[in-house]
Amino acid sequence: MDSLTHIVLGACIGEAFAEKQVGKKAMFWGALMQSLPDIDFVAGFWLNPANDLLAHRGFTHSFLFILIVTPLMALVAERIHRPHDISLKKWLLFFGVEMLVHVLLDGMNVYGTGWLEPFSHHRFSFDYLFVADPLFTIWPAIAFLALLLMSTKNRAARLRWVKFGLILSGLYLAFGVLSKTITDNRVKKMAARQGVGYTRYFSTPTPLNNVLWYVILEDSTGYHLGYRSLFDSDTSMVFTYFPRNRELLKPMEEEEDTHRLIRFSQGYYTVDKHDSTLVFNDLRFGQMIGWNNPQAGFVFHYYLQNPADNALVIQRGRFSNWNKEAVLGLLRRMRGNKP
């Protein structure tokens, strides 16, 4: 998830754990510990883009990292706040929960999170939330602002705000799980009726919502891509086919960056040429406004022969070509109105 979400969510959890003992400093500790796994951003100063993709949400998002860092930070906090009546066990629980929430929440979106590093390089992603979803973040953000402005003497009211932020964001996540489950079942049934065969299935929410889903059905040579809203009423679906074009990788198939990109993409990729330059597309991140244009380019496109041009490999395409009409088109498509 985005940094703002981790900060406000962490502050709310911190308030619930330790406000009674350390006041508003509990919000600071919560925001800090919830954000700590993202310290891996510093790797980007030394690594090339392909390596940095795997370094992010790697070891610092693992359960082992939590086990190592939690007691160290708990000892620091315990010493800073002396004298106090908070047991070391409570500091351990507080900080451990904060970082665990961070890595679990990051596993809810498409990037993938290395929970088992360094013992396994498998990256977990359950694809229930878009990486930045304002309808998930807004509730703890409102609670965070209220808690900042409110006196610590009114503990009952502060607790109500904490519940407001955490429960509503939790309900939104639960709705996303339900929405994805219903949509996946519908898409698979339609694919069977339409004779669309596949060996792997993938779905993830489109930007800023959890009702319009981007789906991939993989076969032996490529991918059937489509979009399905929870509110679509028709019983058929239009898929657009993209060949994998793996043969285009032959000139670079021995390159380490190529292997890293395939691993990062979890095998969901296509290769094409832009002005004679080989481009690697990670399909999981979707298309640029693809719900309006099924032939749209992909958000994640990596220039294999020009690695220096890949500093913003994901961000450069995430909201490319967005304007007022694109936003309105997304809202219409979410409601089940097809272009």
Name the 3-class secondary structure at 228: strand
Are residues 271 and 249 in contact, defined by beta-carbon separation less than 8 angstroms? yes
CA 125, chain centre distance (Å): 8
pLDDT (average), residues 198-209: 96
Report the percentage of the chain scoring pLDDT > 70. Answer: 98
Place of tokens 């809202």: 331
Regarding predicted confidence, which is higher, 186 or 253?
186
What pLDDT sits at residue 81?
A: 87
What pLDDT sits at residue 8?
A: 97
pTM: 0.92
What pLDDT sits at residue 315?
A: 65
What pLDDT sits at residue 305?
A: 81
Per-residue pLDDT tens over the stretch 60-108: 999 999 999 999 999 999 889 887 788 899 999 999 999 999 999 999 9
What pLDDT sits at residue 338?
A: 79
| Neighbour tally for 205: CB within 10 Å | 24
Per-residue pLDDT tens over the stretch 167-180: 999 999 999 999 99
Per-residue pLDDT tens over the stretch 205-233: 999 999 999 999 999 999 999 999 999 99
Sheet holding 212-218, edge to edge: 200-205, 212-218, 222-229, 240-243
Per-residue pLDDT tens over the stretch 290-327: 999 999 999 998 988 877 677 767 667 777 778 888 89
pLDDT band at 138 (very low <50, low <70, confident <90, very high): very high
Are residues 36 and 16 in contact, defined by beta-carbon separation less than 8 angstroms? no
Structure tokens, 265: 């993409």
pLDDT (average), residues 142-160: 93
Per-residue pLDDT tens over the stretch 18-58: 888 888 999 999 999 999 999 998 887 788 888 888 999 99
Report the percentage of the chain scoring pLDDT > 90. Answer: 75
Nearest to 207 by CA among 280, 135, 116: 135
Q: What is the mean pLDDT of the chain?
A: 92
Backbone angles phi, psi at 224, to 5 degrees: -95, 120
